[in-house]
Amino acid sequence: MRLPDSLNVLLLGAGGREHAFAWKIAQSPRVAKLYIAPGNAGTAREGMNVDLQPNNFGSVKQFVLSNNINLVVVGPEEPLVKGIYDFFHEDSDIHHVPVIGPSTAGARLEGSKDFAKAFMMRHGIPTAAYKSFSKETLEDGYRFLEELKAPYVLKANGLAAGKGVVILEDLDAAKKELSEMLNGKFGNASSTVVIEEYLQGIECSVFVATDGKDYKILPVAKDYKRIGEGDTGLNTGGMGAVSPVPFADERFMEEVRRSIVEPTIQGLAAEKIVYNGFLFIGLMNVGGKPYVIEYNVRMGDPETEVVLPRIESDIIGLFEGIAFGSLASYNLKISSQTATTVVCVSGGYPGEYRKGLEIKGLDTLTGDSIVFHAGTTAKAGKTYTSGGRVLAVTSLGDGIQEALNKSYATIAGIEYEDKYFRHDIGQDLL
């Protein structure tokens, strides 16, 4: 089975990741129309934004039927965990339209940390030792914490908007946190809590496209999560990213493939879990050996903004392989150049920040960068901020420093009140 030679695509989501997808999809000669729901001011330059909420499956279905959509690409995790793949699959009006993303069962790899950990144990995939606890087993949780050494890692089982992981140095603070989490700190998401061994090392993000039996490993990336320079301060949705990652060399990536990617894909198949989408494996490099920190069932943000610009082959062919089980015959071409992205946020983020600030300079940029929009909106020909993460400025170069120089030069030409960005993206890799 194939997608039509000329097709209409619906992309769900609104962030920098979705602008990067829209940018790449729009380059395909096979795409007739690209719609982004709801999109942002940047995606509006690549296709047509539509006022549609990705979690409202009924209206997504109506839009797909009235606009002859041939392919649905899902950016964020929420619609996947809520079951958009199964919704399409089980409805005879739309089951012929492929959805790029895992089934509801597959999305549990991100939607339930307890499920993900148990899956890794079943398939011998290296990850931190752990135990899960509920309100009824709080006392056992305290005892487990006493057996561990600091720092203590506590994770809400369900989706908690990226805030569900708490790492504490002090045993009493960890016990208090466990009790608070089990008593509803993150609502239902923390009615089960995973406590796990702390892993010391350096992190990277591995992305895999799979059709459920074959897979392609996409460019590896590293993101920068903390708001402050030198990796200090609060966690954010991501302040920058770099691809490739020097320490994730050929030997390391071969170990990732052998000990993590292969058993994960085979494990999904053995458990009859349908998975036609992207898998994002957050890894810790512990003394040269990879351990899984977490699975996500989508691409990363801002990693996508450095991963897709390094893919030279047509992305519709990749989606086709994912959707129809023909991924093995897709010829993935990856650029040897380095990509960096630097995220510009609004002053105050990830705490309180203002929205609606006019962004100037976007139309007169001369540099050699791709400006992906994350939180922007367009009104009467002007562009305004609409979120904490505003732009992700990506550049390609021969090496990290050359790419970074281009991104920082481009950022210098963009103005809005209280613009903030980190000056040290990628410096730890040089």
Contact residues: ligand GLY, CB under 6 A:
223, 238, 296, 300-301, 303
Q: Token digits for 78?
A: 């929420």
Residue that has been written with the tokens 């390391």 in this structure: 252
**Taking CB under 6 A as the rule, does residue 153 contact ligand AMP?**
yes
413 binds ligand AMP (CB under 6 A): no
Closest separation in Å from C-beta 398 to ligand AMP = 29
User: What is the distance between the alpha carbons of residues 327 and 121, in angstroms, rounded to a whole number?
Assistant: 27
The interface partner of residue 238, options being ligand GLY, ligand AMP, none and the CB cut-off 5 to 8 Å by kind, is ligand GLY
- Strand pairing of 338-346 and 240-243? antiparallel
Q: Which of ligand GLY, ligand AMP, none binds 196 (CB below 5-8 Å, type-dependent)?
A: ligand AMP
Nearest to 235, CA basis, from 299, 184, 161 = 161
User: Could you give the strand order of the β-sheet that contains 192-196, starting from the edge strand earlier in sequence?
Assistant: 130-134, 192-196, 152-156, 165-168
Residue 181 near ligand AMP by CB under 6 A: no
Prior bond of 302 cis (ω within 30°): yes
Helix or strand run (H / E) with residue 234: strand 232-235
Do the beta carbons of residue 353 and residue 420 sit within 8 Å? no
Binds ligand AMP by CB under 6 A, chosen from 180, 262, 294, 402: 294
354: tokens are 């203002």
Q: Does 148 bind ligand AMP (CB under 6 A)?
A: no
Q: Is 223 in the site for ligand AMP (CB under 6 A)?
A: no
- Write the burial class of residue 179 (CB in 10 Å: 0-12 exposed, 13-18 middle, 19+ buried): middle
Tally of residues, the chain: 430
Pairing mode of beta strands 338-346, 389-397: antiparallel
When the beta carbons of 321 and 387 are compared against ligand GLY, the nearer one is 387
Q: Which of 50, 52, 138, 165 binds ligand AMP (CB under 6 A)?
A: 165
Q: Which is nearer to ligand AMP, 96 or 149 (CB)?
A: 149
Closest separation between CB of residue 303 and ligand GLY, Å? 5
- Are the C-beta atoms of residues 388 and 327 closer than 8 Å to each other? no
- What are the C-alpha distances in Å from 400 to residues 55, 161, 245, 353, 404? 38, 30, 9, 30, 6
DSSP-based three-state secondary structure for 176: helix
- Shortest Å distance, C-beta 164 to ligand AMP: 6
Residue 229: contacted member of ligand GLY, ligand AMP, none (CB under 5 to 8 Å, by partner type): none
Binding partner at 286 among ligand GLY, ligand AMP, none, C-beta below 5 to 8 Å by kind: none
Distance CA 380, CA 26 (A): 24
Q: Could you tell which of ligand GLY, ligand AMP, none binds residue 165, using a CB distance below 5 to 8 A set by kind?
A: ligand AMP
How far does Cα 65 stand from its chain's mean position? 28
CA distances from 382 to 242, 366, 378, 416 (A): 30, 19, 6, 12
CA 194 remoteness from chain centre: 21
Nearer to ligand GLY, 13 or 39 (CB): 13
Q: In the structure encoding, which two tokens stand for residue 127, read together?
A: 């990850």
| Smallest separation, CB 205 to ligand GLY (Å) | 7
Nearer to ligand GLY, 114 or 223 (CB): 223
| Partner from ligand AMP, ligand GLY, none binding residue 199, C-beta < 5-8 Å depending on class | ligand AMP
Q: Are 400 and 391 in contact (CB under 8 A)?
A: no
Our CB check for ligand GLY shows the closer of 43 and 341 to be 341
Closest-by-Cβ residue to ligand GLY is: 300
Report the site for ligand AMP in 306-365 (rule: CB under 6 A). Answer: none
Question: Which residues, numbered 5-24, are part of the site for ligand AMP (CB under 6 A)?
Answer: none
288: tokens are: 């040269």
203 near ligand AMP, judged by CB under 6 A: yes
Q: How far is the CB of 165 from ligand AMP (least distance, A)?
A: 4
Nearer Cβ to ligand AMP, position 280 or 421?
A: 280
Strands 222-223, 240-243: parallel, antiparallel or unpaired by DSSP?
Answer: antiparallel
Least distance in Å: CB of 67 to ligand AMP? 36
Identify which of residues 78 and 223 has a Cβ nearer to ligand GLY in the complex.
223
Residue 303 binds: one of ligand AMP, ligand GLY, none (C-beta under 5 to 8 A by kind): ligand GLY
Which of 77, 211 has the CB closer to ligand AMP? 77
- Could you give the CA distance from residue 154 to residue 142 in angstroms, rounded to a whole number? 12
Q: Of the ranges 19-27, 117-125, 192-200, 257-265, which one interacts with ligand AMP (CB under 6 A)?
A: 192-200
d(CA 154, CA 161): 15
Residues near ligand AMP (CB under 6 A) are 128, 153, 165, 196, 198-199, 203, 282, 293-294
